[in-house]
Structure 1
Amino acid sequence: MTTEVSSATAAASTNTTSSGAASGTKLTSDFDTFIKLLTAQAKYQDPTEPMDNTEYASQLAEFSMVEQQVLTNDNLGSALDQLGLGNMAALTGWVGMEVRSATAAQFDGTNPINVAPNPAAAADDVTLVVKNSDGDEVNRITLPVSAEPYNWDGTNFGGDTVPAGAYSFVVESKVKGEVVLSEIAEVYTSVRETRMQGNDVVLINETGAAILATSVTALRDPSQVGA
């Protein structure tokens, strides 16, 4: 993990430096072109109606403002990159911890998976739909209209234990037989790695899924679960 992060950091640093150098070169080139155009404009102006000095000054001021805005945007982008790397470093302490988010969970073939449903308050019927990594339904379980956690024991429609693997959980909320809300339930998964994705920090869990750090709703130490 350290090697990959270091490589990503080096690449980001190289890209930022290259981008900054390219921007500076472009601005210099644009300014030279602007001066040439301004000089040509003065050279070939109508002598009977010469351009006012104030207009020259105004054009120079406008170009200078655009130049400063571009430089400010480059500096802001660099600051955001550094902030993102700082956030990632701060979240490396989450590696080995369990986070709760709307994602698939890894069933080891034995231990149940704790599911946190959040059905619609107006629902009169709630169903937990269990799907495998291929998106096929393996079970449908009737739940109470409640946000109380549910432990799925790893069984399918026939009551048999499903193979180990990644499983997702969709909560269907119905009113008078019609689905009014269908969303992925939150589950706890173990964090294996932290990465930068653009300016966002993502967590890689045991299924290999990338979870935005900002989407995590709970954090726990697996060694303290059930203690």
Structure 2
Amino acid sequence: MVDSVTGTGTSQYQSAADNSATGLANNFDDFLVLLTTQLMNQDPMDPMDSSQFTEQLVQFSGVEQQIKTNKNLETLASLTMMNHQASMASYLGKDALVPGIYGEFDAESTDGGNEIHWRYNLPVEAASVKIEIANSQGHYVYEADGKALAGTHDFVWDGDLGDGTFAEPDTYALKITALDEDGGTLEVGTAVRGKIQSVDMTDTEALFNVGGNYVYQTNIVQLYNN
């Protein structure tokens, strides 16, 4: 598995400020040519009113200063993005608890992958809680009763299938069915601990891939110091 960070980076194309500066320079050149031609061909007895082209020069100067300001802001934004990307890269390889149901299991793993750590939350006390785990083909391989008290509960699965055998390396999904006293289904929130495998920054907010669960940075419940 290859860890990666994707992002906008520094553009190889001209920025908006660069394009504006180029356009302004071309317009200013045309203005000077036109002004020089007018001065050369003016009537000595009736010279041009200098206030008009002086006002235009002032306008060009103001626009030039604004373009320089915009260019500085673009540079600042680019540096901020680069710092943000460097910060996001530091997340790679760390464990995080995120909303989701998918966990990766490998009994031979030596870096924590030999267990899947799930957490679920019950809004109220349930009459019954059923825990089921399915493999990537959608086949249920494990079933057990869960804790029914209201609140947050941790469930750790070591791949034991209950018949003396262990699960194959795969991505497994957790399903929790909680029923109230009337047999109604309760809404259950689930989260899973996994490694941050990649960070996608093509959007305005970083998107993390945590063991197959895709969440935004603001959705990360907990980070672990591996």
TM-score, normalising length: structure 1: 0.58
Asked if 1 retains the 8 angstrom alpha-carbon contact of 2:121 and 2:188, the reply is no
Q: Which residue of 153, 174, 186 maps to 1:180?
A: 186
Q: Which residue of 158, 180, 189 maps to 1:153?
A: 158
Residue 179 (structure 1) shift: 1.5
- Identify the residue that residue 102 of structure 1 maps to in structure 2: 99
| Whole-angstrom distance in 2 between the partners of 1:84 and 1:124 | 50
Tell me the alpha carbon deviations over residues 63-113 of structure 1, each in whole angstroms, 9 at most, x when there is no partner. Answer: xxxxxxxxxxxxx9x998986665443232222210001231110125222
- Identify the residue that residue 121 of structure 2 maps to in structure 1: 118
| Whole-angstrom distance in 2 between the partners of 1:145 and 1:134 | 28
| Whole-angstrom distance in 2 between the partners of 1:128 and 1:169 | 7
Residue 175 (structure 1) shift: 0.7
Structure (1 or 2) with the greater helix fraction: 1
Q: 1:198-213, aligned counterparts within 5 Å? A: 198-205=203-210, 207-213=211-217
| Whole-angstrom distance in 1 between the partners of 2:124 and 2:194 | 26
Asked if 2 retains the 8 angstrom alpha-carbon contact of 1:125 and 1:145, the reply is yes
Residue 161 (structure 1) shift: 1.5
Residue 128 (structure 1) shift: 1.9
Give the greater-gyration-radius structure (CA): 2
Structure 1, unpaired ranges of 5+: 26-75, 223-227
| Whole-angstrom distance in 2 between the partners of 1:3 and 1:100 | 20
| Whole-angstrom distance in 2 between the partners of 1:162 and 1:115 | 17
Structure 2, unpaired ranges of 5+: 24-72, 109-113
Q: Does 1:141 align with 2:144?
A: yes
- Identify the residue that residue 221 of structure 1 maps to in structure 2: 225
Larger relative contact order (CA 8 Å, sep ≥ 6): 2
- Identify the residue that residue 9 of structure 2 maps to in structure 1: 9
| Whole-angstrom distance in 1 between the partners of 2:93 and 2:3 | 15
TM-score, normalising length: structure 2: 0.58
Residue 166 (structure 1) shift: 0.8
| Whole-angstrom distance in 2 between the partners of 1:112 and 1:2 | 21
User: How many residue pairs were aligned?
Assistant: 169
Asked if 2 retains the 8 angstrom alpha-carbon contact of 1:173 and 1:181, the reply is yes
Amino-acid identity (%): 16
Moved runs in structure 1, 4+ residues, more than 4 A? 1-4, 78-86
Asked if 2 retains the 8 angstrom alpha-carbon contact of 1:118 and 1:171, the reply is no
How has the CA–CA distance of structure 1 residues 81 and 117 changed in structure 2, closer, same or farther, with 3 Å as cutoff? farther
